[in-house]
Structure 1
Amino acid sequence: MDKSAINRITAIRDKYKAIAEEAGDNYNLFKVIGLTSEEVRIHSAFLANLLNPQAEHGQKSKFLKLFCEQFDIPQFDHDSGKVTIEKYIGKKEEINGGRIDIDIFDKNGFHIIIENKIYANDQENQLIRYSQYGKKQPKYKLFYLTLYGYMPDEKKSCNYDKKQISLKEGNDYFLLSYHYDILNWLEHCREKAATKPLLREGISHYINLIKYLTNQNTNYMMNQEIIKEFLKPENVQSLANIKECLVKTQIELQYQFWECLINELKKKGFD
């Protein structure tokens, strides 16, 4: 790879750095207060608030209606919807009980059950327990929400041989992703809140947080442009050499770091 190609990559990096600074993309309230991946305190709380027709956002059931439309829940009466976070459904036993992250229900007893996963692992028989709770209601729909729409740990959360229970995705539960599904819904919510500046900006900060957690910020676009530069015919032949050099560069950087640390510790009297 010649010097001009390296200069173009540097220019791409500088361009996106300037874009991020100009747009204020590096500033996010959730990152400032150090709460980016708290499932209950941040993510479940924020989503539940938007979905709650009685919440202080003042938009009544607009956001819940958008949710029902986007995720195919036409029977749900959004105007009468009520939302509970960490819904206690009884003592945790083999296939019953526990706490549901978000439970939304209407006057007809229809329950929308959302299991919200950012980084936490599945619990034993978790979706089975929530499915059993749903089956006790007149009607329900169970969602498994993760950053990228991952499948749950089926052996741990969906299958229980002792009772011959096996939940199937697309039938007993449905996958949702922050990366696409929730982000798309939030964009529509922001459109509805266009004339409410504080609400609109609150949603914008949360959208920015989701993009940060799912690598969709300006760094993602920058990397895509750099990849295009690498894939130009005149640069492809150099990729193998670049990869080898990158590994050796990482090794050298680590060596220099530890060497520098040792020297600084010696200066301060450590042996």
Structure 2
Amino acid sequence: MEIQAVKKLLHQVTAINRTQEKLNLLGGAEFNVFKILGLHTNEVRTHSAFIGELLNPRGCHGLKSRFLYLFLETLKIEDFDTEHAAVKIEKYAGPIDEHYLEGGRIDIHLKGRAGQFIFIENKIHAGDQRNQLARYHNYEPRAKLIYLTLDGTAPSDWSAGELAPEQYTVCSYRVEISQWLDKCYKEAAAYPTVRETIGQYLNLISSLVGNVPDNFMKEEVKRLLLHDRANIESAAYLAEMLQEVKAETVTLLNSELHERWGKVFKGDLCPLDNYSITFWKHSSYYGFTASKGDTTEVCRDKALAPFVALVKEVHPKFKSNGWWLGWKNFIKSPAFEALPLETLFIMANSDEERARLIEEIIDEAKPAYTAFKKLVSAYKRAKLS
């Protein structure tokens, strides 16, 4: 592969990108009222409020139940009463109880005829709350639950509780909401103010999910690739290198997390002879694992039953099996390969950003580790007294 050909292609694409940026400025694509007012990531005041207003048959848009019908069509929800539907934002479901199984607020609450409910949990950048989806279900078991995020990320166990995946629907701003808003934009053709406001909101969503309109750039880059065989080869080489850079960055993050984890969560936590308990992580979850000499999968041994109980005392969401006294999913998953490319490249070039991300993961796990150590110390004192 000729390095000069690769450099030439990069130079040409950069030039096209600069032209696209100028076109965006000339066309006013950067002028967005939601961004100007600093509301672009506000879940309640912007996203839940705007989506809820469109879904409301008595909303000020004047199109009655048409937007709600298009929403249900997009998400393939059938037999919901659109004509008499009522929509509430931040619906109060009562005080949160001590076990986090009841209460809280429902982001978007839709009620049709008797027994028909749709509850939407709306996530932009906020993390999951404890048993949040489970509390929605406990408030109204008949409700259809929708977990909405920018990219369609599934809820963590921390939010879903004991709910099975088939008890809720995961959807995204990138796909389902964008598709729905496109339909709404076309439907509002005779309502120019409504149409253009939806257009502004679509533009905001596109920027949040990294799909900023760039028709000129797409067409020019395609023309550039088709014009010269060397450009096709260079693009293929760049795509290959892109994956290598991504893999190297993920490896670097995993290595640094492994090193940091070993320094913070070190030592054997088990007071019993012959057994060892360590605090460890695996992929997207962490917890307490045990071994006996060279033997693993001993966590169901009767001698370790008191420590399984201690792990449950730390947090009832810890699950046990032969390998783990207790494990649970991270809220902020260390599955670094799932990070957006832009984030990975920031991590590749910034020691500070990598350290910050790793420290967030460590801080999430640290309370469980500290609590278990205290419980084990109390257990040892009780045995000695």
Shared fold (TM-score, shorter chain, > 0.5)? yes
- Letter of the aligned partner of 2:40 in structure 1? T
Gaps of 5+ in 2: 246-344, 351-385
Distance 1:148 1:237, change over 3 A: closer
Note if contact 1:52-1:83 (Cα within 8 Å) is conserved in structure 2: yes
Note if contact 2:102-2:138 (Cα within 8 Å) is conserved in structure 1: yes
Once the two structures are TM-superposed, the CA of residue 232 in structure 1 deviates from its matched residue by 3.0
For 2:148 and 2:240, how far apart are their aligned partners in 1?
37
For 2:199 and 2:37, how far apart are their aligned partners in 1?
16
Once the two structures are TM-superposed, the CA of residue 122 in structure 1 deviates from its matched residue by 0.7
Once the two structures are TM-superposed, the CA of residue 7 in structure 1 deviates from its matched residue by 3.9
Structure 2 counterpart SS, 1:131: helix
Aligned to 2:160: 158
Deviations 1:96-115 (A, max 9, x none): 11100000001323111000
Q: Percent of counterpart pairs with the same letter?
A: 39
For 1:28 and 1:5, how far apart are their aligned partners in 2?
32
Deviations 1:80-126 (A, max 9, x none): 00000000111112211110000000132311100000011111111
Note if contact 1:102-1:115 (Cα within 8 Å) is conserved in structure 2: yes
Note if contact 2:129-2:159 (Cα within 8 Å) is conserved in structure 1: yes
Gaps of 5+ in 1: 160-165, 252-271
2:68 to 64, 67, 80: 64
Structure 2 counterpart SS, 1:120: coil
| Counterpart mapping for 1:50-61 below 5 A | 50-61=54-65
Structure 2 counterpart SS, 1:142: strand
Aligned to 2:114: 108
1:28 to 25, 32, 48: 32
| Counterpart mapping for 1:36-47 below 5 A | 36-47=40-51
Distance 1:128 1:239, change over 3 A: closer
Aligned to 2:163: 167
For 1:173 and 1:57, how far apart are their aligned partners in 2?
29
Structure 2 counterpart SS, 1:80: coil
| Counterpart mapping for 1:1-271 below 5 A | 1-2=3-4, 4-93=8-97, 94=99, 95-135=101-141, 139-154=142-157, 156-159=158-161, 166-169=162-165, 171-218=166-213, 222=217, 225=221, 232-234=232-234, 236=237
Distance 1:140 1:16, change over 3 A: same
Of 87-96 and 33-42, deviating more is 87-96
Deviations 1:24-78 (A, max 9, x none): 2111111111111000000000000000011111111000111112212222100
Structure 1 counterpart SS, 2:143: strand
- Letter of the aligned partner of 1:194 in structure 2? A
Distance 1:14 1:103, change over 3 A: same
Note if contact 1:16-1:218 (Cα within 8 Å) is conserved in structure 2: no
- Letter of the aligned partner of 1:115 in structure 2? E
